[in-house]
Amino acid sequence: MTTRDAFLDRIRAAQPAPRPRPDVPLFDVPEGDRRARFTAALAMMGGTCIEAQHLDDVRAMLAERFGSNAVVASAVDGIEGNRPLAADTPPASLQDVDVGVVRGRFGVAETGSVWFSEAEYIVNSIGYLVQHLVVLLDPAQLVDGLQEVYRRDDFGSARYAVLVTGPSATADIEGVLIRGAQGVRSLTVVWLGA
């Protein structure tokens, strides 16, 4: 047994007994359309929303916005990238990708967040190493608030889960806003039914 395995075995043996999660109450739902609230919340965080009717609209937007020379990795069936993406893709190999295309499982109107698991990302680093993240989101898959997220079965069953709200940004150095400081420089949500 390696030192690493022995160390991990000791940690596993010292885990406390499982206990039920606390009950998270549902709060009052704000007035207004979920989609409008999501769009406003995402815009406050620097993200944008656009409309699409078909995958062809998404392909056209990608070509127009990012050009034919962009390196694209896609986790969405029907949107072909020029960088293959599979479960065995080394995460660091996405470091030079310009655009990542993924489908969000659901969105949260309260915060303008999109939820992803390992199933949506395929390779988790797609959400952090690419320059621009394009997210396809079915408007029917919006929940009102964060408290509803914790009640979903997919939240409890995912090995990896993340809520993404807008592009990465920081303004701590001399108060200058910098996008993409620790992650994606832009996040675009494309409204497109599943």
pLDDT tens digits for 115-170? 999 999 999 999 999 999 999 999 999 999 988 988 888 888 888 999 999 888 77
Residue 23 lies in a domain: no
Examine residue 14 and state whether it is found in any structural domain, yes or no.
Answer: no
What is the arrangement of strands in the sheet containing 72-74, beginning at the earlier edge strand? Answer: 48-51, 186-191, 132-137, 99-103, 72-74
In the predicted structure, residue 3 carries a pLDDT above the cut 80: yes
pLDDT tens for 59-103 read 999 999 999 999 999 999 999 999 999 999 999 999 999 999 999
Can you spell out the DSSP letters for 116-135? EEHHHHSSTTHHHHSSEEEE
Question: Is residue 9 a part of any domain in this protein?
Answer: no
Integer Cα distance of 79 and 59 in angstroms: 7
Q: Tell me phi and psi for residue 128, to 5 degrees.
A: -130, -30
Question: What single DSSP character describes residue 49?
Answer: E
Look at residue 136 and tell me if it is in a domain.
yes
**Bridge partners (DSSP) listed for residue 49:** 189
Domain that holds residue 84: 32-191
Residue (of 103, 99, 97) closest to 65 by Cα position: 99
The whole-angstrom distance between residue 25's C-alpha and the CA centroid of its chain comes to: 25
**Residue 176 confidence class, pLDDT cut points 50, 70, 90:** confident
Whether 15 is in a domain gets the answer no
pLDDT band at 1 (very low <50, low <70, confident <90, very high): confident
* Residue 21 included in any domain: no
Q: Which of 91, 114, 104 is nearest to 136 (CA)?
A: 104
The answer to whether residues 165 and 48 touch, using CB atoms and an 8 Å cutoff, is: no
Domain containing 47 — which CATH number? 3.40.50.10420
The count of domains in the chain is: 1
Domain assignment of residue 134, yes or no: yes
The pTM of this model reads: 0.84
Residue 22 lies in a domain: no
Of 66, 117, 124, 132, the closest CA to residue 93 belongs to: 124
DSSP bridge partners of 187: 133
Q: To which H or E segment does residue 64 belong?
A: helix 55-66
